Amino acid sequence: MGIGHTLQVHRSTRRRLPLGLSDSTSKRRVAVVAVVGLAGFLGSTIAACNSDVVILENPTASTLTVVMLGSGWGTVTGGGIDCGSTCSVTVPSGTSITLTAIATSGSLLAGWSGCDFASGSSCTVGVTSNRTVTANFLPANTLTVVMLGSGWGTVTGGGIDCGSTCSVTVPSGTSITLTATAASGSLLAGWSGCDSTSGSSCTVGVTSNKTVTANFGTLTGLLSGVWGSGPNDVWVVGEGGIILHWDGGAWSSYQSPTTKSLAAVWGSAASDVWSVGEAGIILHWDGGAWSIFTNEANSLTSVWGTAADDVWAVSAGGTVSHWGSQSWDESTGTALYGVWGNLPDVWIVGEGGAIIRFQIGGGWSRVSSGTTEWLYGIWGSGPDDVWAVGDSGQVLHWNGNEWASVLSGTVSNLSAVWGTGPNDAWAVGTSGAVLRWNGAAWEAVSTGTTEWLYGIWGSGPNDVWAVGSGGTILHWNGSDWSSALTPNTQGRSG
C-alpha cells in the first residue's frame, strides 16, 4: 500500500468518520485501530465498532522543490531541504516551510521567486500543492568606503551610510554613485578610487572588490574671493590655489591647476568662470574642469566682465588687462585692486584713493575721489549708483556726477562691497566688520567673527556669502549671519 490508498475492513456496514468521533445515533463507542508496519503506507488508520467499520484515509501529500539559478553559488536549507544535495521534500499538504539561502563567498542572493513571503535570505511557502521555489545567486563584489582627514562628514549611496555602514556587497558590475556631505566646519577635500567625480559625488563600477576614500578637511588659510551663478552654484578661491564650490547642500574642494594664491573670482555663467591671482595666474572653468588660461606679468587682484568675450582684470603692478574678442593690456602706474562696470563705463580703484574710469569710445580718465585712502572694492547697481570702499572705513558714492564720502560708522579697513540694489548693499573688512546700506545709512551688522573678511557676493537679499581669513565662510539668510565653514579641530567622523 502507498500514500493515498485506503484499507477497507468489512463486517456488516462501512462508514467514514473523522478521527476520534463516535456514532451519535447509536451511541456506540468507536474503537480506533492504527494499522502500522505496512511498507509505503503512512498514517492510514481504521476504526471498528461491532458491526460498523470506520475507514480513516491518510492525509494528502505535496512536494516542494528548490531550484537554484544564476552564475553565483550558494545553498538553500530548511524543512528537510538541503540544496545543493537534497533539493525537494514531500510533506503533508498545507505544511509551512521557511527556507534560508546562504550565498558562498564571492556571491550573493539576488532574489527569490515562488515564495508566499520573502525577507532577505528567508523565504516562507505553504506547501498546499506541489510547489517550486527559485533562489537566484549572482557573483558579487564588495565596495568599501574609507573616510580620512581632519574634518567630519558622511558618505551615502547604494546601501552605504558611512559613518555607520561603510561597506556593501552588490552584484558584480553594479554602478554606485556616492555622495559626500561635509559636517559644519568641514569640507570635502577630495576623492580617490572613483571612476569619475563631480564635486561631492563619486561614481564607481563595482567590477571587483573596490575601496573609495573620501577626504574631509578643515580650512585655516585665507579665502579672498566669492562669486556664483545662483544659490546652488557658488565658487570661493583663496590661498595656495584653493578652489571651493557650494552645490546648494555642501562645500567641496575642486582640483586646482595651481598652487599660486587666488585673489578673486567672477563669471558670466555657470560654465564660464574666471579666477585671477598671484604671479598673474588666470584660471578658467568651462563647466567641467578648471584650467590655466594664461599668465600676466603682474599679480592680479580683481576680475570682472560682461560676457565670456569681455573680461577685465587689474593688478597690483598697475596694469589693466582685457581679453575676449579684443585683448590688450594698459599700464596706469598705480597699484589697482578693484574693477567693476556698467557699460559704457568701467570703474577701477586702487592706491591713494585712485579712481580710474574707462568709457567705451571715450578712453581713460582719472576721476577725483576726494580721499587718499587706498581703495579695494567697487560695485554698483547702475550708472548713477556706484560704491567704493577702502582703508579706515572709507566709503565713497558715485551719483552719476561726482564721488562723495559717505559716513560708514567704522574705522575698519574695508575690502569689498556688493549689493542687490540701490537700497541694499554690503561692505566687509577687518576684524569681522560687516556693514549694510539700507538706502539711507550704513549700519554695522554682527557676524560673530573677528576674522578679516575679504570678499562678499550673493544671489539675492536673503542669500549672501562672505569669505575671509582662517578659512572663514559666512552666510546671510535674510535674518542673521552664521558660520558655514570655519576652522574645525575636532577631527573626522567615522
User: For 275, left (φ over 0), alpha (ψ -120 to 50), or beta?
Assistant: beta
pLDDT value of residue 294 = 84
d(CA 389, CA 145): 48
- For 323-349, what is the mean pLDDT? 91
pLDDT value of residue 31 = 34
Question: Exposure pattern of 352-370 as b/e (b: 16+ CB <10 Å)?
Answer: ebbbbbbeeeeeeeeeebe
Q: What is the mean pLDDT of the chain?
A: 86
Beta carbons within 8 Å of 406's beta carbon, 6+ residues apart: 395, 396, 397, 442
Burial status of residue 246 (CB atoms within 10 A of its CB: 0-12, 13-18, 19 or more): buried
pLDDT value of residue 485 = 64
**At 469, is the secondary structure helix, strand, or coil?**
helix
pLDDT value of residue 15 = 39
Q: Which architecture does CATH list for 61-139? A: Roll (3.10)
Q: Is the pLDDT of residue 362 over 90?
A: no
pLDDT value of residue 53 = 45
Per the structure block, which three cell numbers stand in for 313? 582684470
Confidence of residue 10 (pLDDT cuts 50, 70, 90): very low
pLDDT value of residue 361 = 83
Pairing mode of beta strands 174-182, 167-171: unpaired
pLDDT tens-digit series, residues 120-149: 999 999 999 999 999 999 999 999 999 998
Nearest to 306, CA basis, from 293, 282, 323: 323
pLDDT tens-digit series, residues 13-44: 333 334 344 444 333 333 333 333 333 333 33
From the candidate CATH numbers 2.130.10.10, 3.40.50.1220, 3.40.50.300, 3.40.50.10420, the one assigned to the domain spanning 223-485: 2.130.10.10
- For 473-484, what is the mean pLDDT? 93
- When comparing pLDDT for 219 and 128, which is higher? 128
Domain limits, CATH 2.130.10.10, in the chain: 223-485
**Pick from 114-118, 254-258, 314-318: least confident:** 254-258
- For 171-197, what is the mean pLDDT? 89
Alpha-carbon distances of 392 from 132, 308, 340, 372, 402, rounded to whole Å: 85, 35, 22, 11, 21
d(CA 226, CA 453): 11
Domain limits, CATH 3.10.20, in the chain: 61-139
pLDDT value of residue 494 = 38
d(CA 10, CA 18): 18
Per cent of the chain over pLDDT 70 is: 86
- When comparing pLDDT for 484 and 369, which is higher? 369
